[in-house]
Chains A and B, each alone.
Chain A
Amino acid sequence: MAYPPSTAAQPATDVGSVARLITPDGERVSDPALDRWATDVDDALLSDLYRDMVRTRRLDTEGVALQRQGQLGLWAPSLGQEAAQVGTARALRGSDFVFPSYRELGVQLVRGATPTQLIQVWRGEEQSMGDPFARGTAGPQIIIGAQTLHAVGYAMGIQRSARPDGARADDVAVAYFGDGASSQGDVNEAMVFAASFGAPVVFVCCNNQWAISEPVAVQSRFPLARRAPAFGIPSLRIDGNDVLAGFAAMRWALERARSGAGPAYIEAVTYRMGPHTTADDPTRYRDPAELELWRGRDPLTRVETLLRARGALDDAAAADIAAEADHLAAQMRAACLSYRTREPLTIFDEVYAEPHTGLERQRRAYAAYLAGFEEDQR
């Protein structure tokens, strides 16, 4: 028996066949897969999700501005992806552990990253966002897809852990990655491992349609969510610009993983409205009409429309939220401008956990070299 590729397969850019709870016009709708995971979502929680998205977008705007002003070496914009990031991350609990890619500003924010932590990597001052254990969140991963395996290994560790009361640990590990990463061997190996061991891990693929200049059709000829079942992992393909869909889908996936049913996969179909990074120029490879189409699917607008229609948001409340986001952005700018670079010899710190004679010799030699300049200045 042969299995030819189905000619009926939809192009990967198709966004019609996705699960959603809020339409692009801001209308609350029903979805058979998601409904039961959103029954208790009230206006207060929806407002919180909206607030986190506004904060994410405001910080992203500030990050781009700081890069353009020469304060940051690089910035990876998340404009347009706020819903996928905030919705999924807000469903997690503190003891879960997240392994994100470099474009998860909203995830890092929801997981408690400070303004300082958000800029230190991109300013070139540190290589991580600080202690991952403090926030249950690893730093941004640059090597595409590598973190999916870390999440699976962490999940296998959860399976081998007990809670203090002796019960089975029911934490979950989460891997965030993009559509480009879905082509990587590591991501496919991660799904093999996750399925084979029934590991409590959730894969969140933020399909933003573009891997720098490569459209998602180059990565896959059919929806990415359909790959997971072939590994033995159930999946949901959701509207990534619907924050409530992200929240509900993540609850579905987390419940599965916590209960011992194994991994789950979410493809959040979204769109990267800005460049890949501030070093990229999407006008060289993208049709402006495509961007306009996606502006009509803005993840913030639809929630705002819904909240206003329900009387849960008015101009004053929106202004408060915007002011709060402005304040956070000001904190990020202040953190950026006041950052103090570490002393030179600290580059030798923490290469190893234990003393390494070769490196210690280099440190001594470089210290002596630097000390020569100090003598010159006397």
Chain B
Amino acid sequence: MTELTMAKALNAALDRVLTDDPAVLLLGEDIGALGGVFRVTDGLLAGHGAARVIDTPLAESGIMGAAVGMAFRGFRPVVELQFDGFVYPAFDQIVCQVAKMHYRTRGAVRMPLTVRVPWAGGVGAAEHHSESPEAYFVHTSGLRVVAVSNPADAYLMLRQAIASDDPVVFFEPKRLYHAKGEVDLDADLADAPPMGLARIVREGTDATIVTYGAQVTTALQAATAAEDDGLSLEVIDLRSLSPVDYDTVAASVRKTGRVVITHEAPGEAGVGAEVSAGITERCFHHLEAPPVRVTGHDIPYPPAKLERHHLPDLDRILDAVDRVLQRPNSLTGVEL
């Protein structure tokens, strides 16, 4: 085991895949000499050459459309979209072309490409650099959508995403790029849990917190704080947003009877809404209280100095836990 930051773990994964599979190509803005704005591709140009690590023109739809053509020719492109807010110019190619090509051709053309998205807020960034667009992609059939929360998953799930014959939108929380964790660099993909599986990161009995990405850290902080209050909270890292591993989620909710779902993205028609509905359909008779969502507000991402009011913190999560436990909370006596 080696202690690595998430950025280094992702770099190690890309280096390994480039070494192992000559069909893999990297495309993106500034991924060559600079090593990417977050240095995730640091050293890969020197190690693998400009034919494999391709600095592209500044055109996101162009990058994605070119990746589609490369997949036609038998390559496995890995695209870095520099920031979450820059995924929108590539949206048409992702949802109309990447997602549908396999279906449109009845399986004749595969799109084994991975779209890496440095993602979400909490780093005091400028406008368009803190977006949480995951729900748009979860809504699109033909894509797999995953979000990582720690270096070990980053290392394994990125390799799994690139190995997948389906297109994968791969969300990397910027807030955690420098967070360290133990990574087994010799890990065999054959032994790794599939990237579609959720993971119980902390066991508990009183309520379940379902989350993903950087919010996993916040949820764990909330669970630790709740422990002082005599509460036992289970925390689930979804890891995969499409498909959602409802087997793991539903088993937990059947055990605890109460669920809080939290994410940074706005709540309206978000992943939390989907998970809440999915749980309600499956576990209605096991629920002791309605599922509660703790999400970003339904607002454009606010300026950096105010983003702490947008991002769910441990206190907002604990307030929601009080709601599902029907204990006094901020909404007691409030008609919504």
Q: Do A and B bind each other?
A: yes
Chain A residues within CB distance 8 Å of chain B: 97, 99, 126-128, 130-133, 138-139, 143, 146, 148-161, 173, 185-186, 189-190, 192-193, 196, 349-354, 356-359
Residue B141 interfacial (CB < 8 Å): yes
Q: In the complex, A188→B32 CA distance in Å? A: 24
B56: chain A residues at CB < 8 Å are: 193
Tell me the smallest distance from the CB of A148 to a CB of chain B, in Å: 8
**Contact across chains for B72 and A153 when beta carbons are under 8 A apart:** yes
Identify the closest chain B residue to A99 (Cβ).
Answer: B69
Give the CA-CA distance A364 to B134 in the complex, in Å: 27
Within the complex, the shortest CB–CB distance from B91 to chain A, in Å, comes to 12
**Known contacts A126-B106, A350-B106, A351-B103: does B68 contact A149 (CB below 8 Å)?**
yes
Q: Is B108 an interface residue when CB atoms closer than 8 A count as contact?
A: yes
Tell me which residues across on chain B come within 8 A of A192, comparing CB atoms.
Answer: 57, 59, 62
B102 with A132: CB separation less than 8 A: no
Q: Which of B72, B105, B165 contacts A354 (CB 8 A)?
A: B165
* A146 CB, nearest partner CB in chain B, Å: 6
Q: Determine whether the beta carbon of A150 is less than 8 Å from that of B72.
A: yes
B72 touches A152 (CB 8 A): no
15 CB-based A-B contacts, threshold 8 Å: A132-B72, A132-B109, A133-B109, A139-B104, A146-B93, A150-B65, A150-B66, A152-B69, A153-B65, A190-B62, A350-B106, A356-B144, A356-B196, A358-B242, A359-B243
B residues 7-56 touching A (CB-CB < 8 Å)? 25, 51-52, 54, 56
**Inter-chain contacts of B166 with A (CB < 8 A):** 352-354, 356
- Kindly list chain A residues whose C-beta atoms are within 8 Å of the C-beta of B110: 353
A interface footprint on B180-201 (CB within 8 Å = 1, 0 otherwise): 0000000000000000100000
Interface residues of B in 97-147 (CB under 8 A from A): 97, 100, 102-110, 112, 141-142, 144
What are the residues of chain A within 8 A of B106 when measuring CB–CB?
126, 128, 349-350
Instruction: Give Cα A283–Cα B65 distance, bound, in whole angstroms.
Output: 36
- CB–CB A128/B62 < 8 A: no
Output the nearest chain A residue to B105 by Cβ-Cβ distance.
Answer: A128
Most buried by B among A156, A158, A190: A156
B108 is contacted by which of A132, A155, A160, A357 (Cβ under 8 Å)? A132
Q: Which of chain B's residues have a CB closer than 8 A to the CB of A196?
A: 57
Give CA–CA (A352, B242) in the complex, Å. Answer: 12
Partner of A154, one of B64, B69, B108: B69
- Most chain A beta-carbon contacts within 10 A, residue among B65, B68, B70, B96: B65
Known contacts A158-B73, A190-B62, A358-B243; A150/B97 CB under 8 A: yes
B218 at the interface (CB under 8 A from A): no
Does B329 interact with chain A (Cβ within 8 Å)? Answer: no
- Check if B75 is an interface residue, CB within 8 A of chain A: yes
A298 to B86, CA, bound (A): 47
State in angstroms the CA–CA spacing of A143 and B104 once bound together: 13
A149 to B98, CA, bound (A): 12
Which chain B residues numbered 73 to 92 have a C-beta less than 8 Å away from chain A?
A: 73-75, 77, 89, 92
B interface residue numbers (CB < 8 A to A): 25, 51-52, 54, 56-57, 59, 61-62, 64-75, 77, 89, 92-93, 96-97, 100, 102-110, 112, 141-142, 144, 164-166, 196, 242-247
B107: chain A residues within 8 A (beta carbon): 349-350, 353
Which one of A154, A354, A358, A359 lies within 8 Å of B73 (CB-CB)?
A154
Measured CA separation A131–B109 after assembly (Å): 8
Which single member of B25, B70, B93, B244 contacts A358 (CB below 8 Å)? B244
B69 touches A149 (CB 8 A): yes
Chain B contacts for A186, CB-based, 8 A:
61-62, 65, 92-93
Structural contact, A193 and B62, CB atoms closer than 8 A: yes
Interface centre among A143, A146, A149, A190 (most CB of B within 10 A): A149
- Kindly state the separation between the CA atoms of A99 and B164 in the bound complex, as whole angstroms: 25
Known: A131-B105, A160-B52, A185-B59. 18 other contacts (CB 8 A): A127-B103, A132-B105, A133-B108, A146-B93, A150-B72, A152-B62, A152-B65, A153-B70, A154-B73, A160-B75, A161-B74, A186-B93, A192-B62, A350-B107, A351-B102, A353-B102, A353-B164, A359-B141
Residues of A near B112 (CB, < 8 A) are: 353
Q: How far is the CB of A192 from chain B (nearest CB, A)?
A: 5
- CA A159 – CA B56 in complex, angstroms? 15
**Pick from B57, B74, B96, B141: contact of A351, CB under 8 Å:** B141
- Among all A-B residue pairs, the 3 with the closest Cβ atoms: A153-B69, A149-B65, A157-B73
Chain A minimum-CB-distance residue to B165 = A353
Asked whether B61 lies within 8 Å of A185 as measured between CB atoms, the reply is yes
Closest partner residue, chain B, to A197 (CB atom): B54
| A149-B65, A152-B65, A354-B165 given; A189·B59 CB < 8 A | yes
Closest chain-A Cβ to B152's Cβ sits at a distance in Å of 23
Q: Shortest CB–CB separation between residue B104 and chain A, in angstroms?
A: 4
Residues of the B chain whose Cβ atoms lie less than 8 Å from the Cβ of A138: 72
Taking CB atoms, residues of chain B closer than 8 Å to A126 are 106
Bound complex: CA A166 to CA B29 (Å): 31
Q: Give chain A nearest CB distance to B57 CB in angstroms.
A: 5
Smallest distance from the beta carbon of A203 to chain B beta carbons, Å?
13
Chain B residue contacts of A356, Cβ below 8 A: 144, 166, 196, 242-243
Contact pick for B243, options A127, A131, A185, A357, CB 8 Å: A357
Which residue of the partner chain A has the closest CB to B67? A153
Distance between Cα atoms of A156 and B164 in the complex (Å): 22
The verdict on A157 contacting B74 (CB below 8 Å), with A133-B108, A186-B62, A196-B57 known, is: yes
Task: Please name all residues of chain A whose beta carbon is closer than 8 Å to the beta carbon of B246 when the two chains form the complex.
Answer: 357
Contacts of A189 in B (CB 8 A): 57, 59, 61-62, 65
A128 to B108, CA, bound (A): 10
A230 to chain B, nearest CB (A): 15
Chain B nearest CB, measured from A342 CB (Å): 10
Assembly CA distance A133 to B103 (angstroms): 15
A157 touches which one: B52, B70, B109, B141 (CB < 8 A)? B70
CB–CB B102/A151 < 8 A? no
- Chain A residue nearest to B65 (CB atoms) is A149
> What's the minimum C-beta distance from A1 to chain B, rounded to whole angstroms?
25
How far is A143 from B100 in the complex, measured between Cα atoms in Å? Answer: 12
Contacting pair A130 B165 (CB below 8 A): no
Task: Choose from B62, B108, B109, B243 the contact partner of A149 (Cβ within 8 Å).
Answer: B62
A139, B244: Cα distance in complex, Å: 32
In the assembled complex, the Cα of A350 lies from the Cα of B111 at a distance in Å of 12
Q: Hey, which chain A residues are within 8 Å of B142, CB to CB?
A: 351-352
Residues of A within 8 A of B109 (CB): 132-133
